[in-house]
Chain A
Amino acid sequence: MPTADSEIFQVVSDVLNVPLAQVTPATSPATVEGWDSVQHLNLVLALESALGLSLEPEDIEKMQSVAGILAVVRAKGG
């Protein structure tokens, strides 16, 4: 797993308060109770600061699951 991927999993685990072992690409607002719009914003900011990225509104729209986040970050070369 590339470094960025493991950092993404860690951030998702921290922000959404889900054990790291339970974070998978399929993790999404549908599977995590607390993943609401406020937590989504927190997640975006945490990813930006952890990965040193700036996410565009259209990126954020695509980030509706961990798989979506991975795809967006990879596309940014992260």
Chain B
Amino acid sequence: MSQPLSQPTADGATATDLRAAIDAALAAGHAGRARALLGRLWAAAPTPATAPFVVSRFDRLRGQVPLVPCRLAVLRSFTVEPLVPLVKAQALVGGIDLEARLGDFDTVTQEVIDPASWVYGFAPTAIVIATQARDVAPLLWRDFADAAPADVDDEVARVARHYRHLVATLRSRTDAHVIVHNWQVPPAPALGLLDGRSGGGQVEAIRRVNGALAEVARESRNVYALDYDALIARHGAARWEDPRKWATVRLPVAADNLVHVAREWLRFLHPITGRVCKCLVTDLDNTLWGGVIGEDGMDGIKLDDSAAGAPFRAVQRAILDLHRRGVILAIASKNNPDDARQAIERHTGMILRPDHFAVVRANWDDKATSLRAIAAELNIGIDSLAFIDDNPVERQWVAEQVPEVTVIDLPADPLGYADALRTAPVFERLTLTDEDRGRGRMYAEQRLRAELSAGAGSLEDFYRSLDMRAEIAPVSPATLPRVAQLTQKTNQFNLTTRRYTEAQVAELAADPACRVWTLKVVDRMGDNGLVGVAITRLSGDRCEVDTLLLSCRVIGRTVETAFLAHVAADARARGARVLAGWFVPTAKNAPAKSFYADHGFTAAREQDGATLWERDLTAGPGPDCPPWVALTVA
């Protein structure tokens, strides 16, 4: 749709206002804000008129915002020049700095075959081959009605052979990813209704070509078929082309549809350049359901198949699809945690349930803080996060405060939310490896470990099969929030259940008598992240364990023994003769009850139901790290 400059965007700002705000932000040196506003402008008006503005403003931001370089070679049989500014704008808004170079008009074959061709000198990241039947196989297009069936078969076979040869040549000379457009099926076949009647029609001929292209792509490394026919169909064949532009300048795409081609290319270029997100962080109120749970309550929020609820059911289904593709899910919501939990667990309209989410942060923190905490907890880069929120103010805040996060623009109407997610290029993958799945599905990993446990001959074999690595390090500014959070939320394997704020942990870490250790566990199924905390205090020749806890993710895998071995070794190194620690029973920490007894400690005294355990460090070595855990200390 055309979008005159003075039209308001979803949240009321006009494109003209946004341009002024962008230039003001640039003048004031607010790179993050300028970038966020450029994203909004582009989302509101992705047109040939806006593209050069966006590109020229990003030129001034280069070096100040994260951009991944990408060199794109375009070999084509038709005019694509007007696409270039749109592809660049679309790429820049998504964090990709695209340099495009176009081949000559309809010289695809020569440019591929000639070893001295510019294509190879240009060293492209990706190569697009964009041709059409009417340009390179007129017999299958304009002249179809004149062709004998045998000629049609020959032509289809020739085209298939030709593309196989082109792709093989490219593959032998460059590692660039290759994206091959397939061909539009004729909207008005030469034989009209008769086309499909007798077999061997025109539509079928083009489909056979497309089938052959898909096969070539499947069989070749880093070669992909771009379904151009489906792209046109999605946006409407009847309005795809401006016939005047085809007749005059050989441009087969109307001005307002150029952006669709640009976006389709970017769907490939995002995963090709690694500009993808591992985790989707979503808001709750008015994003996953209609209404506000804290105000409207379980019965008031909209989450059924009615007109009010259906858009939110659709968005949940889209998110579930992403999850099944390997995307980790998390929640950042300004909400009372109990309200949020209750709705996710019990609302009958929910499609997403607690076990789909790796992290739920329902609190009153600002969303930038929540996003940082989510990245830390999942132990992934903040640039691996994508964020959706119905509130444009929250989106703008996050885009400005944490520019590494991909903020997905949602339209004003919730009916468009699902589509915005389904078309977000940061969730595209060109291959889905087992590793991706493992990374994305923490709970699936847990299940896998349980299955492995059931199938293993002995517990020891199971432990060995996990290839566990325990990485122990002193707490750092980067891990401090996670340490405090673990002390606050860990209930099961927690010997003393002492809750600490970040400030208190920092205080302990600064105390020369104390040590605050963190434990990361990596195993065959993936990185479990920071899953354990130990705090010790030396007093004379006694070292007391103030806190020792493990996330439930790694309970029952002997990493606690590895952790204790390190704590004991450290205590010895600091001159301790006795290692001591309290076990303070709670309603939930039974899993840790026998920890000290199991590791050679003896009960020294009892107080208020708690037991003080001690182990003489001078009586002999140990406790030892289990042989199946590789221990590293930073």
Contact = CB atoms under 8 A, between A and B. Distances in A.
A51 B3 CA distance: 8
A56 B50 CA distance: 22
Interface stretch (A8-16, A23-31, A68-76): A8-16
A10 B6 CA distance: 12
B56 interface: yes
Nearest to A48: B255
A41 B6 contact: no
Interface string B234-252: 0000000010100111010
A63 interface: no
Contact of A45 (B53, B56, B82, B247): B82
B53 A14 contact: yes
A32 interface: no
A7 B50 CA distance: 11
Interface in A24-60: 38, 41-42, 45-52, 54, 56-57, 60
A41 B4 contact: no
Query: Interface size for chain A: under 10, 10 to 19, 20 to 34, or 35 or more residues?
Result: 20 to 34
Given A14-B53, A49-B47, A41 B81 contact: yes
Interface in B194-253: 242, 244, 247-249, 251
B81 A7 contact: no
B49 A54 contact: no
Contacts of B51: 46
Given A41-B251, A42-B81, A17 B6 contact: no
A50 B52 contact: no
A22 interface: no
Nearest to A42: B82
A52 B48 contact: no
B242 A50 contact: no
A14 B242 CA distance: 23
B413 to A, nearest CB: 22
Contacts of A52: 2, 4
B497 to A, nearest CB: 62
Contacts of A10: 5, 49
Interface in B36-65: 47-53, 56
A50 B244 contact: no
Interface centre among A15, A41, A45, A47 (most CB of B within 10 A): A45
Query: Interface size for chain B: under 10, 10 to 19, 20 to 34, or 35 or more residues?
Result: 20 to 34
Interface string B254-279: 01101000000000000000000000
Given A41-B82, A56-B244, A49 B49 contact: yes
Contacts of B256: 49
B85 interface: yes
B82 A3 contact: no
B248 A45 contact: no
A69 to B, nearest CB: 13
Contact of A49 (B6, B247, B255): B255
Contacts of A3: 6
A51 B6 CA distance: 10
B242 A47 contact: no
Contact of B48 (A38, A42, A57, A60): A42
Interface string B1-41: 01111100000000000000000000000000000000000
A27 B199 CA distance: 58
A56 B243 CA distance: 11
A6 to B, nearest CB: 9
Nearest to B258: A45
A50 B19 CA distance: 14
A38 to B, nearest CB: 5
A47 B256 CA distance: 11
A46 to B, nearest CB: 4
Contacts of B50: 14
B251 A49 contact: no
A52 to B, nearest CB: 5
A41 B242 CA distance: 13
B6 A7 contact: yes
A46 B6 contact: no
B3 A49 contact: yes
A28 to B, nearest CB: 18
A59 to B, nearest CB: 10
Nearest to B242: A54
Interface centre among B49, B51, B85, B247 (most CB of A within 10 A): B49
Contacts of A46: 47-49, 51-52, 255
Nearest to B102: A38
A7 B244 CA distance: 24
A11 B85 CA distance: 13
Interface string B523-564: 000000000000000000000000000000000000000000
Interface string B382-400: 0000000000000000000
A62 B2 CA distance: 23
A52 B256 CA distance: 10
A46 B89 CA distance: 14
Nearest to A16: B52
Contacts of B82: 38, 41-42, 45
Nearest to A43: B48
A75 to B, nearest CB: 17
B52 A49 contact: no
Given A38-B81, A48-B255, A52-B4, A11 B244 contact: no
A49 B310 CA distance: 33
A45 to B, nearest CB: 4
B249 A17 contact: no
Contacts of A57: 244, 247-248
Contacts of B47: 46, 49-50
A10 B5 CA distance: 9
A30 to B, nearest CB: 21
B244 A14 contact: no
Contact of A14 (B6, B49, B79): B49
7 contacts: A14-B53, A14-B56, A42-B52, A49-B49, A50-B5, A51-B2, A54-B244
Interface of B: 2-6, 47-53, 56, 79, 81-82, 85, 242, 244, 247-249, 251, 255-256, 258
Closest 4 CB pairs of A and B: A50-B49, A46-B49, A45-B255, A49-B47
